């Protein structure tokens, strides 16, 4: 299973949506629900977190990781100065699957390598303001992965028994098959025959573990690949349809339009128009 998880992690794309270091004497964030992960590290002071009926006291050295779409309150009850290092991020395979669902991440935990984490976070922040494209593109990406590595390493050191979810080899194998060959025809009956499990159980358990059914994940990965091919290649719509596993254009066009809102041709023309537009002087 270790090799398959390694493959899935390498297939995922880490994107830090926004980040900063804040000094607050007041904080009142209630009923927040974002489409990305919320990471907050308390460097100094204190704050509180409420997720459902659970309330957490956040002290220096504590990290909060809130999964996407989980409603939460993040607030302060004192006027003491609190310093937060925070970021919002996604870690997805093909814009279809949150790869961190493989792991049983705690909502809060104590960071075991605070000095190193603060150093790398500050380096990432400083790199973001450089005009050197090599540093900004390559080193910034490396530092973002280093931030995630330090967080996961700290969790493994203190919560090793609950780090991985209770996955069976079969469901990791199913996910790996989809990620490896999203264009390959897939049916629940075929998976049932392969893993000797009932089709309904496979679909329900897969969705419980990863948030979506295997067919849903596969369709979204096909659409992601089609979008990239439409933007980055001169392949015809027919060739792209075949590349993502659709021998007939109507079926591919219908699926693409259901997910993207416009046809593949319209999508390509729209992106070509944007890329051909001259820069705007402000």
- Contacts for 109 with CB less than 8 Å, ≥ 6 apart: 62, 63, 154, 155, 158, 159
* 49 vs 53: CA distance, rounded Å: 11
pLDDT tens digit sequence for 57-98: 999 999 999 999 999 999 999 999 999 999 999 999 999 999
Domains within the chain, CATH numbers bracketed: 14-163 (2.60.120.280), 170-274 (1.10.10.60)
pLDDT (tens digit, 9 = 90+) per residue, 85-96? 999 999 999 999
The Cβ of residue 236 has, within 10 Å, a number of other Cβ atoms equal to: 11
* Tens-digit pLDDT profile for residues 177-234: 999 999 998 999 999 999 999 999 999 999 999 999 999 999 999 999 999 999 999 9
Q: Residue 210 in contact with residue 175, Cβ under 8 Å?
A: yes
Q: Write out pLDDT tens, residues 132-173.
A: 888 888 999 999 999 999 999 999 887 665 555 555 778 999
Q: Which two tokens stand for residue 239?
A: 């060739």
Determine the pLDDT at residue 102. 87
pTM above 0.85, yes or no: yes
For the segment 228-270, what is each residue's pLDDT rounded down to a tens digit? 999 999 999 999 999 999 999 999 999 999 999 999 999 999 9
In sequence order, the β-bridge partners of residue 110 are: 62
């Amino acid at each position: 299973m270790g090799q398959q998880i390694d493959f899935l992690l390498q297939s995922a794309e880490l994107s830090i949506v926004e980040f900063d270091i804040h000094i607050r004497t007041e904080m009142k964030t209630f009923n927040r629900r974002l489409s990305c992960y919320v990471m907050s590290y308390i460097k100094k002071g204190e704050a509180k977190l409420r997720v459902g009926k659970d309330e957490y006291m956040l002290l220096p050295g504590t990290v909060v990781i809130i999964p996407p779409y989980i409603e939460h309150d993040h607030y302060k009850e004192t006027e003491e100065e609190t310093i937060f290092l925070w970021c919002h991020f996604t870690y997805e395979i093909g814009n279809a699957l949150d790869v961190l669902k493989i792991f049983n991440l705690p909502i809060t935990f104590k960071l075991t390598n605070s000095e190193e984490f603060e150093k790398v976070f500050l380096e990432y922040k400083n790199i973001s303001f450089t005009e050197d494209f090599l540093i900004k593109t390559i080193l910034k990406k490396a530092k973002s992965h280093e931030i995630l590595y330090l967080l996961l390493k700290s969790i493994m050191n203190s919560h090793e028994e609950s780090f991985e979810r209770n996955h069976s080899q079969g469901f990791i194998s199913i996910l790996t098959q989809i990620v490896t060959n999203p264009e390959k025809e897939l049916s629940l009956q075929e998976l049932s025959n392969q893993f000797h499990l009932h089709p309904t159980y496979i679909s329900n358990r897969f969705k419980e573990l990863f948030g979506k059914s295997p067919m849903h994940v596969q369709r979204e990965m096909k659409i992601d690949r089609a979008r990239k091919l439409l933007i980055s290649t001169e392949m015809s719509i027919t060739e792209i349809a075949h590349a993502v596993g659709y021998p007939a254009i109507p079926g591919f066009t219908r699926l693409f339009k259901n997910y993207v809102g416009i046809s593949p041709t319209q999508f390509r023309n729209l992106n070509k128009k944007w890329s051909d537009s001259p820069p705007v002087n402000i």
